[in-house]
Amino acid sequence: MSADPNLAADFINGDISFWVRAEGRPPQRQPLPGPIDADVAIVGAGMTGLWSAYYLKQARPELDIVVIEKEFAGFGASGRNGGWMSAKSPGQFRRYAKAGGVDAAVALEREMFASVREAVDVAKQEGFGDHVVRDGLIHVATSEAQLSRLRAETAKLEDHGWKRDEDFVVLSPSELHQRVHVNRAKGAYWSPHCARINPAQFTFGLAETVERMGVRIYEGTTATAVAPRAVHTDRGRVSAKFVVQALEGYTCTLEGQRRRLLPMNSSMVVTERLTDEQFASVAWHGAELMGDVAHNFAYIQRTADNRIALGGRGVPYNFGSSFDRRGRTADAAVRQLGARLVELFPGLRDVKLEQSWSGVLGVPRDWCAGVEFDPASGVASAGGYVGHGVTGTNLAGRTVRDLILGESTELTRLPWVGHRARNWEFEPLRWLAARALYAVYRFADREEYRTGAPRTHVSAKMANLISGRCPAGGAPPRGCRAPIPPAPSGRAMRGHRTAARRASLLGYTFAKLLRYRFGVKPL
């Protein structure tokens, strides 16, 4: 029983997710019986693995496809997420444009629109999409700095070819108020390219669908290494012509891949069902998903049974890439998310939280997802969606299909194909950097609220520069249509200037932090 007045008496911390608990786990599937042969062996039964299985089997029903899953289908991020099936890119436009050209980066964004439609259509056709509602996505600004980022973001979207009033609609505070009551809202925009899903219902349904098509899913089987034309597991070797690695935040547990993707925690809380009075204070009648534009941003859904589920970074990274597999969430993170809920919806100050949980995202060093295939070894992999994988996994699954079948298509020409970021730094650098960066982001959010300044706090700009993350509305906001120049001969000089800029920003931010936290005025 919980003594915290904000938590329900039978509050649950962890236990995979509210979605999995409410939906009830399907019976555990059989483990791998021993060494076997297959045409395709897929490692990981999350949305990436399952979509890959779905599209391969659909295209070539004769293929013998097996999925190897350590726990159960939907155990990972796919059964824990916020249910935003959105068209948000699983990477940074700027970097994809640099790699493949602006048109290719635009094409990737358009494919994300199409992927939302595709994933919803498949779910409906295959009979597991009754709960899916395509009511779009609202981004709301609750400070002047967030508002300026929101404006920069919509300008950027227009540069990328998004049509105003078609692909997105700018909402004034009063227009937003007609859809949902958000405290201190300064402005918002809505985009139709998003569907609300119940992640467990969706992933369980997709797993049953691929099984019905003839794919074998072996649960309770741990892959220890992925090798050319083989997967090594704790229950024997799977020899296969093709292997698909789909482990996202768990990639670091595989032999030789510890620093490839950072397993970043994302944490969620869900309230009990809202009373009529609480619901009236929020007045959120549609099924739009919602997020703010803070550096430590919150993602929110009103569930089909009238609760509010809200997520955010919490404690983003644990030393040595460790994480609680069943999703237990630090008390401080639960408090932080509960406080954010009440800041956004003060009418919910008495609502109790019923559950909290966490899951891991896969974060590449450059924050850009990739789909890879090496025909020589037969190994494909997809992931690194950084929190935007619900739709990205569908696109990845269709792309993996084309790559394995040796077809050259629009999808195989997208700029995330073949994209691989460099490895993350060694510990303790990874841990120090991740902790410091998120402390800076929290600090920047507080400062932006405190000062009311209409611009992004310099400390957050510095953190973005160091982390390689390009936030909503981040630089360069405009001009993406202009050709992105290849590396000039003065590259070394530019490198020095960038380093000097980073160092001075770092110094400035440390000074600010010291002054803010300890009242120290460094010389």
Residues that bind ligand FAD (CB under 6 A): 43-49, 68-71, 75-78, 80-84, 86, 222-223, 246-250, 253, 266, 268, 299, 311, 359-361, 383, 385, 387-391, 393
Q: Give the CB-nearest residue to ligand FAD.
A: 389
CB of 389 to ligand FAD, least distance (A): 2
Q: How far is the CB of 17 from ligand FAD (least distance, A)?
A: 8
Least distance between ligand FAD and beta carbon 301 (Å): 8
Question: What is the CA angle 187-92-153, rounded to 5?
Answer: 20
State which residue, 152 or 194, has the beta carbon closest to ligand FAD.
194
Smallest distance from ligand FAD to CB 229, Å = 17
Taking the complex as a whole, how short is the minimal distance between the CB of residue 387 and ligand FAD, in angstroms?
5
CB closer to ligand FAD, 312 vs 378: 312
Beta-bridge partners for 138: 190, 290
Would you say 280 or 304 has its CB closer to ligand FAD? 304
Any idea which residue has 């990477």 for tokens?
91
- CB of 200: closest distance to ligand FAD in angstroms? 11
The residues near 175 (Cβ < 8 Å, ≥ 6 apart) are 188
Burial level of 381, CB count in 10 A (0-12/13-18/19+)? buried
In angstroms, what CA-CA distances link 262 with 205, 246, 360, 414, 421? Answer: 29, 15, 9, 24, 11
Beta-ladder partners of 100 = none
Nearer to ligand FAD, 198 or 393 (CB): 393
- Which amino acid is located at 246 in the chain? A
Three-class SS of residue 5?
coil
Ramachandran assignment for 273, one of left (phi > 0), alpha (psi -120 to 50 degrees), beta (any other): beta
Identity of the residue, 43 or 108, whose beta carbon is nearer to ligand FAD in the bound complex: 43
Using the minimum distance from each CB to ligand FAD, give the nearer residue, 148 or 391: 391
d(CA 50, CA 73): 9
Looking at the Cβ atoms of 152 and 396, the one nearer to ligand FAD is: 396
Please identify, using beta-carbon distances, which residue of 153 and 219 lies nearer to ligand FAD.
219
Residue 242's φ and ψ, nearest 5 degrees, are -130, 145
Distance of CA 419 to the CA centre of its chain: 18
Q: DSSP string covering 299-362, please?
A: EEEE-TTS-EEEEE-SS---GGG---TT----HHHHHHHHHHHHHH-GGGTTPPEEEEEEEEEE
Q: Minimum distance from CB of 16 to ligand FAD (Å)?
A: 10
